[in-house]
Structure 1
């Protein structure tokens, strides 16, 4: 991992006025004036906190920020020569916003004490003025940068509505998961505290899976993508949060659209299913039971992917009539990634072999058989030929001459002998 660079970090300071003020800190540090760098660093931090509050008040109408600024101003006016308002500002920013983690708060309190020692003589000490080491100065500079200066002002309690409104406004431009991820990483994620990420995850979960209104319905698609991007940043942290509040995350209600949306999300992030309670499991199982496409995607409901395929294999052939090409392709891809592709192909072969009409055979070949012909092994190819050869609704149909030429080519590639299958060959 590359070492931390003060110079490179300085270029990323959000507030331009703070960036300018920070240059003095860098100059003092570079010339070995570590005491002066600590004194100026605390001043830069205090000013930056004020700038952030002003930004929240002026640009986002943040009532809490406005009240805190007024409280700080009154405290300063009441006693202009007493710098206690600076520490008051720091402590109130922690209690009223999501800007700082607890550890960062403690570190910045330490910086304030170092600033006091560096600026004021200590008459009882062997040295009147405290002299911080280079390492101490550098550590505090890094803390100030990562805890305050590199963070945008939106890390207040207004972060959720601000982010959601932002991505909703720009969703026409954020047309892919990759673009949205890059946008969030550039604008919001740098130095984002865990508390903010947890609040975002919790709120987006509510917007995606718990609420139905004009606004949430209009922006559910972009919010779901954002939720997935945030979850993938720290899956263990969010699983722990869900495990600690199962009731909130499991209270998803009976709305079919919301349940269907959650099934699609869990298909991509299946570990989260285990963090929902049994009541939510029952609702999700009931929703999937009535739609074969949802059932195909509900592999998270089984102990293993093999168990999921076994459950699908027990379905009747008619149950697969409504399977979409997209859902089947997704199942094949997932089966391949799980090392169980041939088991999925066997389900397709079984359903093709059960055709009761020419029309069934036409549809099922295009939907199930054609997508797997380049994927089956010799054993499954032999099974396919046997199923075709014993069902006249498959081998006697008009399109068999076209469709089964593809089967012949795939069998040849696998060195599978087709000569024993007379009915199959008679109509190729």
Structure 2
């Protein structure tokens, strides 16, 4: 809207509190027609804001570039206390060594600096010794400084991916829960960056999550990946469009690394639309991998049109196997989480009962009861409990296994604690002994 382009509105979004306070003096001079004073003060505000941002980078993020720039400026001030040339050094250093200023921003600051000098320093060979800028020039400079510098977060000035990665390594052991990590990253980084910086950060996190495999990256890959998820979920549509528009970059994935492959499949299964935009070479490799690996196939939801269809595909594959494959915790957790999100938990539980029924050995029965039945006992419906009892009654690998002597009483206790306690006739299942 129009009012959002106004200087008054933009000034409310100035990042640093002291800068906002100083800028009010600029506004006061401008509103009172004191355009010369407004320009002189605006330039001072810009210099102060650059220093404030460097100080925050130094103090909060231990930014080595910010520290070195501040050190150089301090040294110049001490060597030449009456010479303001350090101001130019400050602008040049920030422009060349950080990402805070775009090329146009530096040109605008230099232009402001020139006008400031003409407004503050007498020119002896002119009738008006001090130049007085007009209203439009002053307002344009104010708008340029707000957009190009004053409203920006200081972390834009650094290679943010390196700052974030170093931070993640330091807090990884303290922030184990995803919700705690999300609160931390949102508060410290994501609320302070703009769209271009989000794009740079996403590209960097993608590379570290799914491509690089040096020692440090391998060690901290999980927290990096979790951070990528947090960023992705914040602007899902925006990042999907990035992947779509730069398919070549985002299809560069190290599929030979089993850990990367596992995380990549997790990501695609949670967000199948991202897999659609992968290069065909990636899709061919994935098709071949999951054909020979049941564990990866079981969690590759993105290869099906829907989650129920994926359950059906797994059933078909399990039915064709001579030995019943077992789903690992990670696969089970992913499918359960997606089922909850989509409101089809019942279909997931029916699928687990199917796997339980297909137990082809005593050890399968022990594993499947422990992994597929007990953890979800409180979620089963009456009809599902009946299906479990039928499976035990009809499958010798379930009812004759040694562990059934302790497992069957556990199952009955779960049923007795459910609302269906008095609705199940155990005499219908003579091989279910408790």
Aligned counterpart for 1:341 among listed residues 318, 340, 345:
345
- The aligned counterpart of 1:44 is 45
- Give 1:60 shift: 4.3
Q: Is residue 373 of structure 2 the alignment partner of residue 369 of structure 1?
A: yes
- Give 1:421 shift: 1.6
- CA distance in 2 between partners of 1:176 and 1:234 (Å): 21
Does the 8 Å contact 2:42/2:142 carry over to 1? yes
- The aligned counterpart of 1:177 is 178
Give the direction of change, closer, same or farther, for the CA distance of 1:229–1:404 in structure 2 (3 Å limit): closer
TM-score, structure 1 normalization: 0.73
Q: How many residues align?
A: 403
- Give 1:157 shift: 5.5
Does the 8 Å contact 2:290/2:296 carry over to 1? yes
TM-score, structure 2 normalization: 0.72
- The aligned counterpart of 1:217 is 218
- The aligned counterpart of 2:425 is 418
Does the 8 Å contact 1:355/1:394 carry over to 2? yes
Aligned counterpart for 2:16 among listed residues 9, 13, 18:
13
Aligned counterpart for 1:294 among listed residues 293, 296, 315:
296
- CA distance in 2 between partners of 1:167 and 1:341 (Å): 34
1:363-397, CA deviations, whole angstroms, 9 ceiling, x for partnerless residues?
21121122333323344333333322222332344
SS in 2 for 1:374: helix
1:153-197, CA deviations, whole angstroms, 9 ceiling, x for partnerless residues?
442363322222232233233333333333333333344232222
SS in 1 for 2:157: coil
SS in 2 for 1:366: helix
- The aligned counterpart of 1:195 is 196
- The aligned counterpart of 2:167 is 166
- The aligned counterpart of 1:264 is 266
Gaps spanning 5+ residues in structure 1: where? 74-79
- Give 1:341 shift: 2.3
Q: Is residue 383 of structure 2 the alignment partner of residue 383 of structure 1?
A: no
1:204-248, CA deviations, whole angstroms, 9 ceiling, x for partnerless residues?
211111111112112212211222222222222222221122122
- CA distance in 2 between partners of 1:132 and 1:34 (Å): 13
Does the 8 Å contact 1:394/1:400 carry over to 2? no
- Give 1:402 shift: 1.3
- CA distance in 1 between partners of 2:349 and 2:150 (Å): 56
Does the 8 Å contact 1:299/1:308 carry over to 2? yes
- Give 1:268 shift: 4.0
CA RMSD of aligned residues (A): 4.9
Give the direction of change, closer, same or farther, for the CA distance of 1:34–1:294 in structure 2 (3 Å limit): farther
Does the 8 Å contact 1:26/1:37 carry over to 2? yes
Aligned counterpart for 2:336 among listed residues 332, 339, 343:
332
- CA distance in 2 between partners of 1:416 and 1:297 (Å): 36
- Give 1:43 shift: 3.8
Give the direction of change, closer, same or farther, for the CA distance of 1:140–1:369 in structure 2 (3 Å limit): farther
